Chains A and B, each alone.
Chain A
Amino acid sequence: MKTFPIGGVHPSDNKKWSKASAIEVMELPDVVNIPLSQHIGAPATAVVAKGDKVVVGQLLAEPTGFMSAAIHSPISGTVTAVDMQPNGQGLRQMMVTIKREGDEWDASIDRSPEIVTECTLSSKEIIDRIKAAGIVGMGGATFPTHVKLSIPEGKRAELLIINGVECEPYLTSDYRTMLERGELLVIGTRILMRAIGVEQAVIGVEANKPDAVQHLRDIIGDDKSIKVMMLKTQYPQGGEKQLIAAVMGREVPAPPALPIDVGAVVCNASTAVAVYEAVQKHKPLIERVVTVTGAGVKEPKNLLTRFGTPVSALIEKCGGLPAGDVRVLNGGPMMGRALCNVAMPVMKGCSGITIINGEEAYRGVESACIKCAKCVEACPMGLEPYLLSKQARKKAWEAMEQNDITSCIECGCCQYTCPANIPLLDYVRLGKQTVMGIIRARNAKK
């Protein structure tokens, strides 16, 4: 079985809690807050104002420039505010607040259950529909999909990779999507292949999900153009660069190089389903599967949730927060961000809510670095986290830039593996942010 060549760790996957529960439809919330920035790039520009009536699927905000994404209304009702609201980190950002009235859908959306297999649209038409539907990478990075599919002049895509790896421990939203919405995923894959003009696609799935691999292979049948590849379970295989290395054996050069430079386009499994819905059913991106899981959660679930639903409602649905100190993470335990505000709305990149309670919610006591180099061994990008974190503490930004800090994917392998409990990632991330800022300022000067 293939995997990426350097680094990586193998934490206990802990998918057992939510693995077996089928996707449930979450009740519609009474009030939603829709952030205008749910993607990488410029925040969208609101096209609705206070007092406007909206229906499900109606455009709320249009993309600001190329590197941005449209945002649609997930519920029908009245816009009560377009204002600054606290996000999951407690920081205020622009959100559209909608009070729900019934569940009225936009007439252009095809809500019939039948599956539309045929797609005869041209590449440009497909990409336009994807852009209009506001689709972004749903694995967590939230990179606008239409940008990814618009192949720059002079470059050629050779292979489409569908990321069904879901290497993040605890989370099962992609797994359940592959099992329950596999047909749509495969059609979505074919549409994506059409959009970028490739003959071959690979669906990468880790070995801890053999039933998903089998299910997808059954659906694909004799079609030779799509291959399901079982990959050795290893974190962070779901990282774009790691997946390309595992599937194609090619290394994406350091930034600003992109996967397209080695002929690859990577899309998440849930994104492929969203592409199907957008292109074949005219349904914009208004909902996603969110895993709510953790050792202390009474009923872990995979919930098909409309965007804007508060995370607290999802937690209530799954039996509420466990007693004592808890850490609520937006995402999984490796890449997830702790929330200080559980009223945070579910967004496009929110694949799961992980609740850690008890002893595990705390970090171990930090001790001195003994230069064991475990972090160096674990780093999938071949960096030296112990050195970078030390340089970040000393504010040696130039040295960090020379040591390729911008290549860091913030996977957290270094911190996971550190026997001295040093918050390596915290410092490395601070350094990365600072260095990126310095580079941006320098480029702006030019």
Chain B
Amino acid sequence: MSTLIYTIITLFAIGVVSALVLYFVAQKFKVEEDPRIDDVEKMLPGANCGGCGFPGCRGLATALVESDDISSLYCSVGGDACMGCIAEYLGKAAPKKEPTVATVRCGGTCEKRPRTNTYIGATSCAIASSLYVGETGCAYGCLGYGDCVAACAFDAIRINPETGLAEVDADKCTACGACVKACPKGIIELRKKWPKNRAIYVSCVSKDKGAVTMKACKAGCIGCGKCAKVCEFGAITIENNLAYIDSTKCRLCRKCVAECPTGAIKMIGLAPLAKKEPTTKATEPTAPAAAATVKQVENKEA
């Protein structure tokens, strides 16, 4: 019986001593943390996607609370509404950004861009692109092994088995930029998000000369410059045999789409321009062909 009592007393004494030690140590090494960090973290979406450049939502929350000027910090997942709430809570000026969406700039579907060989290595775009040009003759196009799909935390991008290309679900996309970083070919770009997911963009990044591009892919941009000539807003630039539409300047007028001879300029959520009256004789034969190409593209989108 006495053994039992001694044991209980000893254990109790050890417990008391340890508790005291732990209490004083905890007091000594206490980390003061701003309680607002917890609150801000709760306001953030909690996706931990890393799109803001911080390791996770808590990283951004800490930065938001600690820095005086938060104009350079932004959570694209939460958007303006979320950032507004946080800024109001913290009493700082809210950062604003136009919403963007990831856009896959390659139109080389299986039929437009025929396969010339079969790749049998590891299923990874990064590896395939480090080894060789890819299954088609185009050195710039989408490889279709899905590094972007693996990188997306929001299930917003997938490889369409029919076209062999990556496709973005604009409703799910949060513009975190993970796919942009994952794509070894640099095809994916964050572009301005229009209402109803409308978009006009050059779905090609090939810097090859026109003839080389054409040989590999019928949907490629050949850098002919017709689109740049018709653009009234100066949104289109031609560089390295490639047209680029600045999404911040574009007004979705659709003139370039009608002009593009290869159908490389894609249009989403918009009706093609009504067939215009031919102004000069030179454009007469090309206009119906261009319109037909646009129509095909449009049908595919639908």
Q: Smallest distance from the beta carbon of A368 to chain B beta carbons, Å?
A: 15
Q: Is the CB of A426 within 8 A of B124?
A: yes
Q: Is the CB of B120 within 8 A of A362?
A: yes
Q: Is the CB of A433 within 8 A of B130?
A: yes
Q: A77-106 interface mask toward B, CB cutoff 8 Å, 1 = contact, 0 = none?
A: 000000000100111100000000000000
Q: Is the CB of B133 within 8 A of A430?
A: no
Q: Is the CB of A430 within 8 A of B127?
A: yes
Query: Does B108 make an interface contact (CB < 8 A)?
Result: no
Query: Does A250 make an interface contact (CB < 8 A)?
Result: no
Q: Is the CB of A89 within 8 A of B127?
A: no
Number of interface residues of A (CB under 8 A): 19
Give Cα A89–Cα B128 distance, bound, in whole angstroms. Answer: 11
Q: Is the CB of A92 within 8 A of B127?
A: no
Query: Does A48 make an interface contact (CB < 8 A)?
Result: no
Query: Does A288 make an interface contact (CB < 8 A)?
Result: no
Q: Is the CB of A337 within 8 A of B121?
A: no
Give the residue of B122, B137, B139 whose beta carbon is less than 8 angstroms from that of A427: B122
Q: Smallest distance from the beta carbon of A364 to chain B beta carbons, Å?
A: 10
On chain B, the residues within 8 Å of A429 by CB distance are 127, 130
On chain B, the residues within 8 Å of A86 by CB distance are 133
Q: What secondary structure prevails in chain B residues at the interface with A?
A: loop
Chain B residues 245-285 with CB under 8 Å of chain A are none
Q: B122-137 interface mask toward A, CB cutoff 8 Å, 1 = contact, 0 = none?
A: 1010110011111001
Query: Does B169 make an interface contact (CB < 8 A)?
Result: no
Give the residue of A361, A362, A430 whose beta carbon is less than 8 angstroms from that of B126: A430
Q: Is the CB of A426 within 8 A of B134?
A: no
Give the residue of B116, B122, B139 whose beta carbon is less than 8 angstroms from that of A423: B122
Chain A residue nearest to B216 (CB atoms) is A90
Give Cα A426–Cα B208 distance, bound, in whole angstroms. Answer: 28
Query: Does A340 make an interface contact (CB < 8 A)?
Result: yes
Q: Is the CB of A426 within 8 A of B122?
A: yes
On chain B, the residues within 8 Å of A67 by CB distance are none
Query: Does B118 make an interface contact (CB < 8 A)?
Result: yes
Residue contacts A-B, CB under 8 angstroms, 19 given = A86-B133, A89-B131, A89-B132, A90-B137, A90-B139, A91-B133, A92-B139, A92-B208, A325-B118, A337-B131, A340-B116, A340-B117, A423-B127, A426-B121, A426-B124, A427-B124, A429-B127, A430-B127, A433-B130
B residues near A (Cβ < 8 Å) are 116-118, 120-122, 124, 126-127, 130-134, 137, 139, 208
A residues near B (Cβ < 8 Å) are 86, 89-92, 325, 337-338, 340-341, 361-363, 423, 426-427, 429-430, 433
